[in-house]
Amino acid sequence: MDMGSISPELLLASLMVAATPILLAALGELVVERAGVLNLGVEGMMITGAICGFAVAVNSGSPAFGFVAAAAGGALLALLFALLTQFALANQVASGLALTLFGLGLSSLLGQGYVGIKPPPVAKLDIPLLGDIPFLGRVLFSHDLMVYLGLALVGLIWSMLKYSRAGLILRAVGENHDAAHALGYKVVRIRVAAILFGGACAGLGGAYISLIRVPQWTEGMTAGAGWIALALVVFASWKAGRVLLGAWLFGGVTVLQLNLQAASVQFPLSTFGWMFFGAPLIYLIHLKLQRSRISWRAIAFVTAISATGLGYALVMRGAFTPFKVEYLSMSPYLITILVLVIMAGDKSRAPASLGRIFHASQ
Amino acid sequence: MLKLEKRPQPSRLWTWVTPLLAVVITMLAGGALFAALGKDPVEAIATIFWQPLFGEFAFYYRPQLLIKGAPLILIAIGLSLGFRAGIWNIGAEGQYIVGALTGAGVGLAFYPTESVLVFPLMVLAGALGGWAWAMIPAVLKLRFGTNEILVSLMLVYVAEQLLAAMALGPMKNPEGMGFPGSRNLRQYESAHNAELITGTGMHWGVVAAFIAVIFAYVLLTRHSLGYHIRLTGQAPRAARFAGVRPARLVLVCLGTAGALAGLAGMFEVSGPAGQVSIDFNVGYGFTAIIVAFLGRLHPLGILLAGLLMALTYIGGEIAQSNMGLPAAAIQLFQGMLLFFLLAVDVLTNYRIRFMSREVA
């Protein structure tokens, strides 16, 4: 297996880039969910942001205007969600799905004249001294502004939620909207503001894909990034710092599979065996973490599967097959499912009013 | 000042009026959209809703109504069971693809054996494939407590990649001159889901859709399982006290939805589509979500909503070729429908009161 063609320096640098769109979208959704609203329309807002940003950047020649327009477009779509869920008191799951279907249609309509066009390039900040550090300079300090905006947003949201009064009120609204209402906080107003912020962040994330990551416009180009961002919030237990970790994990997986596609390396068949060897063990660890009693039957089951996997791995040692692009492309989604499975036990951190309809009856 | 007052019970009248209202509002907003695109709004709306049924070439388009409507209705019926119980399977598109793959896979495996048993086996395989794909989110939810919304959706993207891998790899037509895509099942008589009555569009998938509607109606109104589903949706706590086992409900709802979506995929691949190809799926699994809501999660409502949605697909195609209306405009039009439906639905659950601001 020839992995030599993949440089770790480049891999880590592009990981930062690949992580940024889902990081931005997930941070926005984090704030929305901490306010007690479940907006499943992230994918729709992202793709709308992607085309709004792209169109404005192409027409104005300025990527900065593009990003502003993307944020505005995402927020505008989020406003529809806010109207539905906060004023028409519609079911949030259904409204979120509607937002995604609507956003996908809207974006492909808006994007008709923009297929095959190159957007204006976005300058990279080459930070003078730091950028010259041998390995780290390339990995950390030679990106565009949006990467740093994403990182700054992590710190900002973390400190706001943890230390500021506004953050406390936001969390109060998310944990118990009736109590917050009784205390005189404007529940609906605060939630609408959070939803708009989430939309703007998702829009920025989408524009990052169409303006920097790819950079061009194709229909449905976000390809599930919005849903991965939603999963990321669960993975992060609604904490900003963990969102960053999760985004890097997914960025890493995406970049790695793209590199494997390009490098056309050979895939060792024994990997399947190792997967079957490892998965049951991870399952045991999961049970242990949940402090549930582990039955003898489970142990026998796990041992049997693990042993089969190990046997397969040992027999197939040295057998290779080329990676198939399609199977590699599945990996980000499969990893998302895996992460959801591992993290699902920790639901205690979810805002208590998440997804519930607030109606102040007097 | 406007005030919303919660109704003690959802209004029965408004439950059925709101979908119609939503359709009317969507037509108006859609007309505005088409006008903004520089098309005559009245002509566009007429092309979409009138031409396929009563226009000059209606004899050609009417059968299409059944062909396009059947998969939508089949999938939406399955989804509605889960939606009623608060189980959100939004990955029907993936189950549809996998059902098509397993169904077609069985058919292709038997090629070129001619036997009456091939098609029933394919039907079985299609249903099983969709069921198995839906069991992944179900089992993960029950065993680990993962969110079925996200898992079922992620599996759509996995299924799309699987479809591409199959169309380019194992299922590729060995006599296809290297083009992607499987053998055409329409040319393999035992596996062909042919029209039952020529010129009507009636194929086995349409029959299955009608059976599913009846089955779902009986289930929901006459069977204790249907009662449990409705109870869980309306009062989860009461349902638990009444002895409803949520785990069983998750398995049944997701399993049924998966099996029906798989059937829809299998009937599509062996009939109208004909072959496994990269662009086989056209989003029926997602449009079916709109159909389920527009039909008020009620079997008969879904039947009507499915036909209406099929109408917008066919009319959209006509408008596309006759008036140059972009395909995306139709997609947006369908999305708007769900939006307006959810918006006007407030009238079902709440009363709007006009109140003068009282002095405290």
Q: Give the chain B residue whose CA is nearest to the CA of A93.
A: B88
A-B contacts at Cβ under 8 angstroms: 131
CA–CA distance, A285 with A166 (Å, rounded to integer)? 39
Q: Is the pLDDT of residue A1 over 50?
A: no
Q: Report the percent of chain A where pLDDT is more than 90.
A: 24
Structural class in CATH, domain B38-325: mainly alpha
Q: Give the chain A residue whose CA is nearest to the CA of B7.
A: A361
Domain boundaries, chain A: 8-237, 267-322
Q: Are residues A89 and B349, on separate chains, in Cβ contact within 8 Å?
A: yes
Q: Mean pLDDT, to the nearest integer, of A181-203?
A: 91
- Structure tokens of A81? 């969600």
**Phi, psi angle pair for A48, to nearest 5°:** -65, -45
Q: What is the DSSP letter of B356?
A: P
- pLDDT at B292 (0 to 100): 92
CA–CA distance, B50 with B44 (Å, rounded to integer)? 10
Report pLDDT digits (tens) over B255-291. 999 999 999 999 999 888 888 888 888 889 989 998 9
Q: Identify the three-state secondary structure at position A328.
A: helix
Q: How many helices (H) and strands (E) does chain B have?
A: 15, 2
Whether residue A322 lies within 8 A of chain B, CB to CB, comes out as no
Report pLDDT digits (tens) over B221-265. 888 888 888 888 888 888 888 888 888 889 999 999 999 999 999
- pLDDT at A81 (0 to 100): 93
Q: Is the pLDDT of residue B327 over 70?
A: yes
Q: Mean pLDDT, to the nearest integer, of A338-361?
A: 76
Q: Report the percent of chain B where pLDDT is more than 70.
A: 98
Q: Give the chain B residue whose CA is nearest to the CA of A229.
A: B150
Q: How far is B55 from chain A (nearest CA, A)?
A: 27
Whether residue B32 lies within 8 A of chain A, CB to CB, comes out as no
What H or E segment, with its residue span, contains residue B57? none
ipTM for the complex shown: 0.86
Q: Is the pLDDT of residue A285 over 80?
A: no
Report pLDDT digits (tens) over B99-131. 999 999 998 888 888 888 888 999 999 999 999
pLDDT level of residue A278 (50, 70, 90 thresholds): confident
Contacts of B88 in chain A (CB under 8 A): 93
Q: Give the chain B residue whose CA is nearest to the CA of A327.
A: B161
- pLDDT at A175 (0 to 100): 86
Q: Are residues A101 and B147, on separate chains, in Cβ contact within 8 Å?
A: no
Q: List A residues 228-287 in contact with B (Cβ-Cβ < 8 A).
A: 228, 230-231, 234, 286
pLDDT level of residue B186 (50, 70, 90 thresholds): confident
Task: Output the average pLDDT for chain B.
Answer: 86
Q: How many helices (H) and strands (E) does chain A have?
A: 14, 2
Q: How far is B62 from chain A (nearest CA, A)?
A: 26
Q: Identify the three-state secondary structure at position A219.
A: coil
Report pLDDT digits (tens) over B32-89. 888 888 888 888 888 888 888 887 777 888 888 888 999 999 999 999 999 988 889 9
Nearest to A124, CA basis, from A140, A110, A100: A140
Q: Which of A102, A234, A257, A358 to mutate to test the interface with B (most CBs of B within 10 A)?
A: A102
pLDDT level of residue A335 (50, 70, 90 thresholds): confident
Q: Which of A101, A110, A328 to mutate to test the interface with B (most CBs of B within 10 A)?
A: A101
- Looking at the DSSP bridge assignments, the partners of residue B350 are B6
